[in-house]
Amino acid sequence: GVQPNTISYTAIINAAKLEGSAKAVEDAYEVFKGIELSMRNRRTYTAMIGAFARVRRTEDAWTVFEEARQHVSPDRIMYSAIMGAMAHDTNKVKRLHKEMIAQGLGDDDV
């Protein structure tokens, strides 16, 4: 059979995010927890953060972001996902934005 890889795992998490139900996101989290740390990348973490944000599991989104920071360098997309998840906490969003700028990940030119 075909062995799952980072791309297939991330696709499953993204599908759950798009489906949008609490059950789909919980199932995606079970998949995420089964992924070896060495196979998790920015996209995998960002997908899980976005899935949690979709069902308003903000603390879980934050926990995944904190773990991600231990293993990968967040990019603008990941920062955007976590700031969206934390939209209810203006101070945290401001701190994250400041951190993003300090990392050299400036705002998009619109």
pTM: 0.91
Percent of the chain's residues with pLDDT above 70 = 96
- Residue-wise pLDDT for 8-23, tens only, equals 999 999 999 999 999 9
- Residue-wise pLDDT for 45-76, tens only, equals 999 999 999 999 999 999 999 999 999 999 99
The position carrying tokens 């995944």 is 64
